[in-house]
Homo-oligomer: A and B are copies of this chain.
Amino acid sequence: MTEGARVVIVGGGFGGLTCAKQLTDKNLNVTLVDRHNHHLFQPLLYQVAMAGLAPSEIAVPIRSILRKQRNTTVLLAEVVGIDMVNKRVKLAQTQDLPYDYLVLAPGARTHYFGHDDWAHYAPGLKSIDDAVEIRRRVLLAFEAAERETDPAERARLLSFVVIGGGPTGVEMAGAIAELGRYVLSRDFRRVRPSETRVLLIEGGARVLSTFHEELSEKTVVQLSELGVQVRTGTVVESIDVNGVKLRSGEVISASTILWAAGVSSSPLLQTLGIELDRAGRAKVEKDCSLPGHREVFVIGDASYLLGDDGNPLPGVSPTAMQMGRHVASIIRGELAQGAGATAAREPFRYRDKGSMATIGRSRAIAEMGNLRLSGFLAWLAWLVVHVFYLIGFRNRFAVVVDWAWSYFTFRRGARLITGGRMEPGPPESVSHAQPKTTRLSTSTAEAAEGARTG
């Protein structure tokens, strides 16, 4: 144990981990707490859900990443509360952690806008467990179709609905269509690729609404080439075991429904008595600290801060990483100045390096300032960026090998069905991983229209 100022970081995602990696000073005593033992490269999580990558290829143990940072302790534990008066983090599994600085980076979770029961029928994609569950449902739907002789039931089994037209929804819809059309079709004797039906439902006027309109259109074209039907301006009324009921009254019968329509912040923030926005994010000062608590920062998806353009900063990994670096530099600066440093702090400035979304094999879109790409070139850019940012040489190598393998052979390496049950769709009883509780009160699916998507 090193002596010195105590920094507690809650969350080992992009924001928390980046912050921890900057805090190498010997006079800092850093503790990173997370509910999972691994940092997750979330941009590739849909690949696990679609059997393209193995979970361990995009997840690395946090303590393995920070092993050489001797001033840093990693704890697998659940934060159950924070005593901001006495500056202590309360953990479910062990003693309180006192802090001088606290960095909250708890991330976001799937949010059903008051319809938590939908979680059972339409899982979201935020964790490895989510991805493995989605993989199980998708692969089992094809297996059940292969056994099925009734054409109507087979059509239902081969119908997949993805709700939410943000990057995650687009990626999942494209990947399912590809799976049916190119990957699985050659392994089955009765299922034909043309039977696979993928619907992407978006409440708003267009998919990928944070991108330029031109790219939204190109996305729809590329999705259509893969056989995905895109329905914009379509609001979900309810979801149950039979499928999806739309506001229009239409019922879409499908065995597999996936939710990518909204996220909200960690419930932890609701226990702090601080001001939150509608999605449960903490409204922070320009330096990312909480109003009235200079020693507490909230970063990443859990924070709400307006950018130079007057819009809230996007809930993407670059925001979280830049915030993590910014907060680490504030902490290090103040420690260098000595106790009681009260100098004005540098405000956080988000540098938008562009964004991209992948649609499928050789298909993607990318936007960097005024530069807009789509198709193969965008896909190549997407691939390079995502491999580059993966943590750990071994993982980068493994992912490149896996992609090259599946690109040239049309086969996928991680097509495992695990978890015991053999029927597609939701489990008969609600499993421990589903549904996620959220205490937000927004109550109609319409809210999904404006929500951030993962």
Give the chain B neighbours of A419 by CB distance below 8 A.
129
Q: Which of A13-21, A138-146, A235-243, A379-387 contacts B (4 or more CB under 8 A)?
A: A138-146
What CA separation (Å) do A259 and B411 show in the bound complex?
Answer: 36
Residues of B within 8 A of A415 (CB): 37-38, 56, 61, 64
Number of contact residues on A: which range applies? 35 or more
Q: Are A187 and B433 in contact (CB under 8 A)?
A: no
CB-based nearest B residue for A68: B186
Query: In the bound complex, what is the Cα–Cα distance between A395 and B409 (angstroms)?
Result: 14
B144 with A422: CB separation less than 8 A = no
User: How distant is A441 from chain B, measured CB to nearest CB, in Å?
Assistant: 26
A239 shortest CB reach to chain B, Å: 23
Please state if A413 and B56 are interface contacts (CB–CB under 8 Å).
yes
Distance between Cα atoms of A68 and B75 in the complex (Å): 49
Instruction: Check if A433 sits within 8 Å of B420, measured CB to CB.
Output: yes
Please give, as numbers and ranges, the residues of chain B lying within 8 Å of A411 by CB-CB distance.
Answer: 64, 394
- In Å, the complex CA distance between A54 and B94 comes to 30
Min CB–CB distance A69 → chain B (angstroms):
10
Establish whether residues A186 and B144, one from each chain, have CB atoms under 8 Å apart when the complex forms: no
From known contacts A76-B147, A93-B144, A187-B63, infer whether A398 and B418 are also in contact, taking CB-CB under 8 Å.
Answer: no
Provide the residues of chain B in CB contact with A417, threshold 8 Å: 36-38, 76
Tell me, yes or no, whether A212 is within 8 Å of chain B by CB. no
Give the residue of B75, B78, B397, B420 whose beta carbon is less than 8 angstroms from that of A432.
Answer: B420
What sequence of 0s and 1s flags, for each residue 68-104 of chain A, a beta carbon within 8 Å of any chain B beta carbon? Answer: 0010011111100000000000001111000000000
Who on chain B is nearest to A415 by CB?
B61
Q: Does A416 contact B (CB under 8 A)?
A: yes
**Given A67-B187, A186-B67, A188-B63; A413-B432 close (CB under 8 Å):** no
Contact bitstring A268-288, B, C-beta under 8 A = 1, else 0:
000000000000000000000
Instruction: Give the distance in Å from the alpha carbon of A432 to the alpha carbon of B190 in the complex.
Output: 31
**Main SS class of interface, A:** loop
Most buried by B among A75, A139, A146, A421: A146
Contacts of A416 in B (CB 8 A): 37-38, 55-56, 59, 61, 128
B contact residues around A370 at 8 Å (CB): none
Q: How far is the CB of A344 from chain B (nearest CB, A)?
A: 36
Most buried by B among A35, A57, A187: A187
| Residue with the highest number of chain B CB atoms closer than 10 Å, among A78, A420, A423 | A420
A405 at the interface (CB under 8 A from B): yes
Q: Taking the nearest CB of chain B, how far is it from the CB of A154, in angstroms?
A: 12
Q: How far is the CB of A4 from the nearest CB of chain B, in Å?
A: 15
CA distance A432 to B433 in the complex (A): 14
Complex formed: what's the CA distance from A395 to B146 in Å? 26
Can you give 30 contacting A-B residue pairs, CB < 8 Å?
A1-B189, A35-B422, A37-B417, A38-B415, A38-B417, A54-B55, A55-B416, A55-B418, A56-B413, A56-B414, A56-B416, A61-B416, A63-B188, A64-B411, A73-B146, A73-B190, A74-B187, A75-B147, A76-B417, A76-B422, A93-B144, A94-B147, A95-B149, A128-B418, A129-B418, A129-B419, A394-B405, A394-B413, A397-B401, A421-B432
Closest CB pairs A-B (n = 9): A76-B143, A94-B147, A56-B414, A63-B187, A54-B54, A37-B417, A54-B56, A67-B187, A61-B415
A-to-B contact residues, CB < 8 Å: 1, 35-38, 54-57, 59, 61, 63-64, 67, 70, 73-78, 92-95, 128-129, 132, 139-140, 143-144, 146-149, 186-190, 394-395, 397-398, 401, 405, 411, 413-423, 432-433
